[in-house]
Amino acid sequence: MAFRLGLIGLTLAFAQAASAQTGPVRLVVGFPPGGSADTTARLLADKMKDTLGVPVLVENKPGAGGRIAAQMVKDAPPDGNVVMVVPFAVMVVQPMVFKSIRYDTTKDFTAVGNAATFPLALAAGPGTPANNMKELIAWFQANPGKANFGSPAAGSMPHFMGEMLADAARMKLTHVAYQGGAPLVTNLLGGQIPIGFDTPAEFAEYHKSGKLRILALSGAQRNPTFPDVPTFKEQGIDIDALAWFGVFGPPGMPKATVDKLNTALQSALKSPDLVQRLAGLGLTAAPGSAEEMAQRLAADKKAWATPIKNSGFQAD
């Protein structure tokens, strides 16, 4: 009798785990409305609700570069009702540069799945006499006093992409930090800085008009939005890192709950109109399993540790 009761209890526990997610799903975003993270989350929410059969509500919790939202999700119950759409920088870069972070992105979150990937771009201003990476490196070597690069913020992924380039090309580059992408572009156009790293979307309009030139994109393959731009690897520079938006939940989420959310996520990312909308943001829909997302996080943390350490940058 005791065995039967134990078996019934175990069966009920599994059933509860599988059906724990009963209310609306809160899709937390650590940034204000209107940005690429917020737009991605809203596109996903609109599709995921159909598969899950419950409302999926986007909740903006901006502040501290996304860390406030991450802390909130870390402390949430592991029932699948609170998850986040989070960029690469929050999960990989920030824990290596902010001493005050009180979570481990590997241990303190449950991977649900990848949402989208996007490359980073290196753009040259009109006064920089280079049309490809070979010419750019040769020009920097001949003019070491001009070997500077800009990024939208110190400690950002574009900052460390510049450090990666310096390491891969075996040359010294001096970083110049800006307060966002707009002033970086302004100084590129004005010739105050020879090159800059940022998302392709920041440079796209000027690249198309010929006012700036995107010389290279990260990633193993050319980006379909910029088919004329070769990758770093095509040009002999061993950089293929991609940034991403992933979906993560609190630690300890039951596998059945993760599987349910992942199924809804993958279904959303296979929707042709959502794929097209993401492409308009410079993003590539990249559905995959929860295990693949966890593996990607681990691999990226390992790959970025050296350039971040070599930069000597520490935010606090």
Burial 70-85 (b: 16+ CB within 10 A, else e): bbbbbebebbbbbbbb
Residue 55 lies in a domain: yes
Mean pLDDT within 273-281: 91
The answer to whether 56 and 48 have CB atoms below 8 angstroms apart is yes
CATH code: domain of residue 173: 3.40.190.10
Same domain, yes or no, for 145 and 43? no
* Domain around 174: 121-235
- Asked if residue 270 and residue 230 are part of one domain, the reply reads no
Q: Does 311 have pLDDT greater than 90?
A: no
Cα–Cα distance, 273 to 221 (Å, whole number): 23
Determine, yes or no, domain membership for 36.
yes
pLDDT digits (tens, 9 = 90+) for 69-123: 999 999 999 999 999 999 999 999 999 998 889 899 999 999 999 999 999 999 9
Q: What is the mean pLDDT of residues 7-23?
A: 48
pTM greater than the 0.85 cutoff: no
178-206 per-position pLDDT tens digit: 888 889 999 999 999 999 999 888 898 99
Residues 278 and 259 in one domain: yes
Q: What is the CATH number of the domain that holds 264?
A: 3.40.190.150
Per-residue pLDDT of 117-145, as tens digits, reads 999 999 999 999 999 999 999 999 999 99
Burial profile 196-222: b = 16 or more Cβ within 10 angstroms, e = fewer: bbbbbbbbbebbeeeebbbbbbbbeee
Name the pLDDT band for 248 (thresholds 50, 70, 90): very high
Write down the residue that tokens 């010739």 correspond to: 191
Spatial contact of 68 and 30, defined as CB atoms under 8 Å apart: yes
Instruction: Assess whether 74 and 103 both reside in one domain.
Output: yes
Q: What is the dihedral of CA 76, 77, 83, 84, to 10 degrees?
A: 20
Residue 7 lies in a domain: no
Do 176 and 224 lie in one domain? The reply is yes
Residues 40 and 132 in one domain: no
If one counts the domains in the chain, the total is 2
Burial group, residue 105, by CB count within 10 angstroms (0-12, 13-18, 19+): buried
- Cβ(281)–Cβ(64) under 8 Å? no
Q: Is residue 314 part of a domain?
A: no
Q: Let me know if residue 181 belongs to a domain.
A: yes
In angstroms, the CA 229 to CA 233 distance is: 12
Identify whether residues 96 and 201 lie together within a single domain: no
Claim to verify: residue 262 and residue 225 sit in the same structural domain: no
Of 193, 208, 235, at which residue does a domain stop?
235
Q: Are residues 60 and 138 in the same domain?
A: no
Burial letters for 176-195: b for 16+ Cβ neighbours within 10 Å, e otherwise? Answer: bebeebeebbebbeeeebbb
65 belongs to a structural domain: yes
Q: Give the pLDDT score at 289.
A: 98
Is 315 a member of any domain? no
Tell me, what's the pLDDT at 316? 67
pLDDT value of position 47: 97
* 224 is a domain residue: yes
Between CA 236 and CA 126 the distance in angstroms is 23
Rounded distance, CA 56 to CA 49, Å? 5
